[in-house]
Each structure stands twice: as C-alpha cells, then as structure tokens.
C-alpha cells in the first residue's frame, strides 16, 4: 500500500504539471481572472496537485522522509520529462536520457535501501 501511495502521488503530480502546460497556448493571462476560473485544465491540474499532496502526505507517514521524498520528487521529474517528450513533443536529447536515467537509478537505490532497512 505504501508504494502504491508513492506511485499515485507521482502520477498525479506529473498529470498536474502536464495539464498546467496544456492549459494555455502561451503564457497564462493572469490579468483575466474569469478566463482562469473557467479553464478546465487548470482546475484538473489543481485537483491533481491535491491528490498528489494527499498521497505524498500518507506515504511519508509510512516511509522515512529521506526515502519517500526523493523517490516521489525524482519519479515525478522523470514522468514529466517523458510526458513532455512523448505528448507535447518537446526536445529530448541524449543528455536528457542520461539525466533521467541517473534519476531512475537513484530511485532504485533508495527503494532497495528501504527494503533492506
């Protein structure tokens, strides 16, 4: 159940970030509150961030903070990176692959650290 909470938090956090990116064709117009209030993708992003927070809060009460936080954060970074490349078609270079691979390696090390503790 604990790892499921981490995974839910990672997916919800990444979904929120992607929804924020897709919520506008350009920079958000903060001078138009009505447009912001009626932007469905922004609302879904806010709800996703809420779900991510609740899943994270539940996970850190079950895992050491020095394990849960880096896994949740790095996991979301990797998932956002993959979504930005695959869904939004943002540039993804060999250095991106290297960086995300290193983050994934860190996640695996931390996950096994907790399993052996």
Q: In which residue are the tokens 């912001």 written?
A: 36
pTM for the model: 0.87
Q: Which helix (H) or strand (E) holds 47?
A: helix 40-60
Predicted confidence (pLDDT) per residue in 44-53, tens digit: 999 999 999 9
Q: What are 77-103's pLDDT values in tens digits? A: 999 999 999 999 999 999 999 999 999
Q: What six digits make up the tokens of 43?
A: 């609302």
Query: For 55-84, what is each residue's pLDDT tens digit?
Result: 999 999 999 898 899 999 999 999 999 999
Torsion angle (degrees, nearest 10) of CA 44, 49, 54, 58? 130
């Amino acid at each position: 159940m604990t790892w499921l909470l981490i995974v839910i938090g990672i997916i919800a956090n990444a979904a929120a970030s992607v929804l924020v990116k897709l919520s506008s064709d350009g920079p958000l117009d903060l001078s138009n509150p009505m447009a912001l209030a009626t932007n469905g993708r922004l609302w879904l992003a806010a709800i996703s961030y809420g779900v991510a927070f609740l899943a994270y809060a539940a996970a850190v009460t079950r895992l050491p903070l020095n394990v849960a936080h880096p896994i949740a954060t790095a996991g979301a970074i990797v998932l956002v990176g993959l979504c930005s490349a695959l869904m939004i078609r943002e540039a993804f270079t060999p250095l991106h692959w290297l960086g995300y691979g290193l983050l994934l390696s860190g996640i695996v090390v931390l996950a096994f650290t907790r399993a052996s503790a």
